[in-house]
């Protein structure tokens, strides 16, 4: 999914707000509030709960 976002032409030395969302087996990447890439994920999402 990240390769899709890399093609957008982001500038060096510029701040961006990056947000990842996982909902209903779809993972989405937002940059500055704009959906830049999304992809359906099959299987389990493994994570470490550090709280």
Where are the chain's structural domains? Answer: 16-40
Q: Indicate the DSSP class of residue 24.
A: T
- Report yes or no on whether pTM surpasses 0.85: no
Q: What is the longest distance spanned by two Cα atoms in the chain?
A: 37
Res. 5: pLDDT tops 70: no
Res. 41: pLDDT tops 80: yes
User: What's residue 45's pLDDT?
Assistant: 72
Residue 21: burial class (beta carbons within 10 Å; 0-12, 13-18, 19+): exposed
Q: Give residue-wise pLDDT tens across range 14-23.
A: 999 999 998 9
| pLDDT band per the 50, 70, 90 thresholds, residue 2 | low
User: According to DSSP H, which parts of 1-51 are helical?
Assistant: 2-6
Alpha-carbon separation of residue 13 from 10, 17, 42, 50, 51 (angstroms): 10, 13, 35, 31, 32
């Amino acid at each position: 999914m990240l390769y899709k976002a890399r093609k957008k032409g982001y500038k060096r030395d510029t701040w961006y707000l990056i947000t990842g969302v996982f909902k209903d087996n779809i993972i989405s990447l937002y940059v500055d509030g704009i959906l830049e890439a999304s992809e359906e994920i099959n299987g389990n999402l493994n994570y470490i709960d550090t709280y």
